[in-house]
Structure 1
Amino acid sequence: MTDHPTDQPGIADSPFAPGADRAEATGGLQRGPKDPSLADAATAEPESSPWRESWSRMVAGRPARKVSAERAERKPVVPHVGVRRVIFGNDVPWRVVAASAAAVLAIGGIGGFVGGWAGKTFRADYQRVELQQVEGRPGDGSMTQIGKVAEALRPAVVSIAVQAGQVSGVGSGFVIDDKGHILTNNHVVSAVADKPDMEISVTFYDGANLKEVPAKVVGRDTKTDLAVIQVVDVAGLTVAQLGDSNKLAVGDTVIAMGSPQGLGGTVTSGIISALNRPVRLQAEGTDTDGFADAIQTDASINPGNSGGPLVDIRGAVIGINTVIYTVSGGSQGLGFSIPINSAVAVAEQLIAGEEPSHPGIGVTARTVSNGAFSGAEVATILPGGVADRDGLREGDVITAVGDRSVSSADELTVALWTVGAGNETVMKVVRDGAEMDVSIAPE
């Protein structure tokens, strides 16, 4: 590049011509940095600025306007977009939205109803569902034998409720004569039997009709867990027919009736699972402490069945439901009933006002077993008693009473009860390893 000549037209006359006195310039954008008239010499641009030609009077100046830090940091405002604007493209008033929604729901409901009604009304026949049901009852339509027994005996079976103060309980029973005597378990009534404020109520079930009447205790036996109560002034009593428990066989069909868990008029059925089961009779909260030569059954028996009848297929009572074996507290198919023959003898004595007798031979015994046999070992002998008179000794092991094997002390007790007072029988006794027969009559 060559120096600009000073004689070029127009430039020499310009106040910005090279070499012109800067003080005489009046039209420049900004005075040079060496101009003594600059108010702020600190802001002058150095002479070595690369942004201007050496001959130019123009220099870089300050910004036209200072931007504040607050404005520099200010963020742009983002406009709020609501749901209504997104859905409808505008801020439609909420009342319009609500009205529109209500209209849509109404139209949808009407459409659904009309569609369902039309579909149901105009459905083709081949689309209709018709479930088939068998009419009538099995066989010839008559009741089963168990049903007939239950229907006939139900009026004789009762629910028993007892109360004295805060003590209460429930059980079952059945009418045994036309004088209103009812046979039940001692443990059903014993908790309140001796209390002055005792209340006993009996409910009869005859079809759909229920009749509740008061009752009183006639007598109790703690050894056999039997009791007799009585209702008075009750017309039209149905008396239960009593059977013969000595004629039972394992496998016979039996029916249990009563009020398990307070559900009166309940009927269950099963079979006789075993006979002559020696069962200890003890009940918490009662004075029952005895034994039973029990009938074992798998008919469902639960708390509240106590005192109710166990019935054969003819409808005759052959036992009194008394004990269940349970882990859970409910029926597990192991129920035990007192044989009716034993119960009748006790009931007759109680009704007559007598103390029931329980024949024995005047010994205490304990259960023993040596692997070869089990039995009841004589522990003590009552002086002057039957065993003492008939020559039994302490240490003798009784293994049978009559035709019945004896494998425990409890079984000896119930076997002697079965023989009865004054009836002679033969006992098999093992003494010093030798077996012998001893004739004996319990008393």
Structure 2
Amino acid sequence: MTSERPDDEPTAPLAPPPGRQPDQQGPPPSWGQQPPPQQVGQQVGQPVGQPVGPQQQPYPSPTPPWPGIGQPRPGHPTFQQPYLPGHPQQPLPYGPPEPPQSGSATPGRRLPRWTWPVVALLSLLLGVVGGLIGGSLVGGDTSTVEIERRTAQPLPSDNDSVASVAAEVLPSTVQIIAESGGTSSSGSAQGATGSGFVYDQQGHVITNNHVVAEAAKAGGRIQVVDQDGNRSRATVVGRSTVYDIAVLRSEGAKELTPAAVGSAEQMRVGETVVAIGSPLGLAATVTSGIISAVNRPVTTGQGEGDSSYINAVQTDAAINPGNSGGPLVNLQGQVVGVNSAIASLGSSLTSDQGGNIGVGFAIPIEQVEVTATQILKTGKAQYPVIGANVRGTDSLDGARVESISPGSPAARSDLEVGDVVRRVDDQPVTTSIDVVVAVRSHVPGEKVTLTIERDGRTQEVEVGLDAKTG
């Protein structure tokens, strides 16, 4: 079985040749650099201008699975939220006046009662103003983009009705039609279709990068279609090939209800989830299933330039081409992930049997929020790097350091060429993909702890994370 990213370009190969191991692939992948195209995912997009039907499903020829993908990975921690810790509050230096010290030449004067409320009010105002000024100095101008997301759960905690979830989330889900500008042999417009959901009240929509990538490069037209069939033009605010996330903006989306945001971290294996989107161009389609696994390292893409690495939520909810970018939702009506990839069987099957087989992958909403916030503030997204190239071992029990870039965080640490990385923080490493996914689940400025083996001895090395844009 291979994991495929249900792709908008059906002819591109998306998986490594059969029988090749991670340590046999081209130049070794880099933490923060794009590793060799050891893709195991197929994007869930649908070509525009083709009739709906299984004979038109845009699947590449499936190939055997990437070693380690699809196997249980015990011991993986939950996805880490890269939020800054809160600063402890200090007690205010106010209180009743102290009595004069004995022997004082001048007795203390009692201030009027109205003094203390005035002082408290002034202190509060000064604190608020000072906090705003301090925030702008430390974190940049945070007022340029207002993100008014609904985070409260729309449905009760004990809800078990998929119908209720569908009724709640469908009005927030849209179909994406991305035309690249060319025409097919039949004369229809070329491009891709996918799905997305309304992120805030400013008309921003979240989808996958691979849904709009070709249209964005070619200057094509992108449209958002709501549940009632209303269409509106959309523009790309920014996109990340590394995390396969794109943020669009549409005036028509301002009239729609933003989706509630939940947490992939809090989801447990076996919990029910609902996938909503437009598989095979069939808008407003709802499927349900369970969380099959969490923290599943998956890489998708067509080549070195657009490979993405996902610390994925795995689900058996039916996902097909066209579901890309749509929400994966819990039973409280909150988005916990963005559907991005599916798995397919071997090439012995015909293309019309290459649809959903119950193995789909979604980008955790925590990572989506981090990337979307960066894009909304700067138009670009960043990802962490440590500056070392690694290659998977023959025994699939680690990744060997092949080279270290001068001046990089790895060069400033105790890491050495030849070290075999066994764990990143407390996540076990079986292939080089595990290392890349684990590092990219952090944010620049943080540190990771690598458990390495050197000369038969195990030790820990702490490495900082620099930032790259992509």
TM-score by length of 2: 0.60
Q: Indicate yes or no: 2:288 matched with 1:269.
A: yes
DSSP-derived class of the 2:211 partner: helix
Task: Tell me if structure 2 keeps the 8 A contact 1:187–1:283.
Answer: no
The counterpart of 1:165, out of the listed 170, 179, 182, is: 182
Match of 2:40 in 1: none
Of the candidates 381, 392, 405, which is equivalent to residue 356 of structure 1?
381
Match in the other structure for 2:255 = 236
Whole-angstrom distance in 1 between the partners of 2:443 and 2:375:
17
**Secondary structure of 1:302's match?**
coil
**Whole-angstrom CA distance in 2 between matches of 1:202 and 1:254:** 24
Q: Following TM superposition, by how much is the alpha carbon of 1:234 offset from its aligned partner in structure 2, in angstroms?
A: 4.8
Change (3 A) 1:258 1:287: farther
User: Is the contact between residue 201 and residue 254 of structure 2 (CA under 8 Å) also seen in structure 1?
Assistant: no
1:103-118 alignment, distance < 5 Å: none
- Aligned AA for 2:377? A
**1:178 and 2:194 aligned:** no
Q: 2:411 aligns to what SS in structure 1?
A: helix
Q: 2: CA distance between counterparts of 1:440 and 1:311?
A: 35
Q: Quote how far apart the aligned CAs of 1:338 are.
A: 0.8
Deviation sequence 1:353-383 (CA, Å, 0-9, x none): 343111121101111143xx70111111011
Q: 1:280 to 1:250 in 2, by over 3 A?
A: same
Q: Distance in 1 between matches of 2:175 and 2:302?
A: 19
Unaligned runs of at least 5 residues, structure 1: 1-142
SS of alignment partner, residue 437 of structure 1: strand
Residue 377 of structure 1 contacts residue 395 of structure 1 at CA under 8 Å; is this kept in 2?
Answer: yes
Q: In structure 2, how many angstroms separate the alpha carbons of the residues matched to 1:234 and 1:180?
A: 4
**CA separation in 2, counterparts of 1:335 and 1:201?**
26
Contact 1:350–1:356 under 8 Å retained in 2: yes
1:194 offset after TM fit, Å?
A: 2.2
Structure 2: how far apart are the matches of 1:172 and 1:226? 12
Question: What's the CA shift for 1:151?
Answer: 0.3
Secondary structure, aligned partner of 1:194:
helix
Confirm or deny: 8 A CA contact 1:224 1:281 kept in the other structure.
no
Which residue is equivalent to 1:211? 230
Corresponding residue SS for 2:294: strand
Q: How does 1:77-156 map to 2 (within 5 A)?
A: 145-156=161-172
From the CA coordinates, give the structure whose radius of gyration is larger: 1
Q: Distance in 2 between matches of 1:193 and 1:369?
A: 40
Residues 1:344 and 2:369 aligned together: yes
* 1:434 paired to 2:453: no
Answering whether residue 336 of structure 2 is matched by residue 314 of structure 1, we say no
Match of 1:199 among 184, 202, 221: 221
RMSD: 1.7
Query: 1:188-246, CA deviations, whole angstroms, 9 ceiling, x for partnerless residues?
Result: 011111224x11111111xxx32111111111111111111111155532101111222
2:312 maps to 1:294: yes
With 417-426 and 328-337 compared, the bigger mean Cα shift is at 417-426
- Assess, with a 3 A threshold, how the Cα gap between structure 1 residues 364 and 421 changes in structure 2: closer, same or farther: same
- State yes or no: 1:260 paired with 2:260: no
Out of 280, 286, 297, the residue aligned to residue 278 of structure 1 is 297
Task: Summarize the alignment of residues 46-61 of structure 1 with structure 2, pairs less than 5 Å apart.
Answer: none
Q: 1:190 aligns with which of 213, 230, 237?
A: 213
Q: Which amino acid aligns with 2:463?
A: I
User: One-letter code of the match for 1:341?
Assistant: E
Aligned residues: 294
- Report if aligned partners of 1:186, 1:288 keep a CA contact under 8 Å in 2: no
Secondary structure (helix, strand or coil) at the match of 1:165 reads strand
Distance 1:287 1:266, change over 3 A: farther
Offset of residue 415 of structure 1: 0.6
2:203/2:254 contact within 8 Å kept: no
Q: How far 1:169 sits from its partner (Å)? A: 1.2
Q: Distance in 1 between matches of 2:196 and 2:253?
A: 16
Could you tell me how far apart the structure 2 residues matched to 1:396 and 1:232 are? 53
Residue 313 of structure 1 deviates from its aligned partner by 1.3
How far apart are the structure 2 equivalents of 1:366 and 1:235? 47
Note if contact 1:256-1:311 (Cα within 8 Å) is conserved in structure 2. yes
1: CA distance, partners of 2:442 / 2:203: 30
Q: TM-score, normalised by structure 1?
A: 0.64
Instruction: Tell me whether 1:334 sits opposite 2:359 in the alignment.
Output: yes
Q: Tell me the alpha carbon deviations over residues 36-67 of structure 1, each in whole angstroms, 9 at most, x when there is no partner.
A: xxxxxxxxxxxxxxxxxxxxxxxxxxxxxxxx
Q: CA deviation at 1:394?
A: 0.9
Q: Specify every segment of 5 or more residues in structure 2 that has no aligned partner in the other structure, as ranges.
A: 1-158, 184-189, 346-352
Greater relative contact order (Cα 8 A, min sep 6): structure 1 or 2? Answer: 2
Segment of structure 1 superposing worse, 300-309 or 227-236? 227-236
Indicate the SS of the match to 2:366: helix
Match of 2:372, SS state, is helix
Q: Give the aligned residue type for 1:298.
A: D
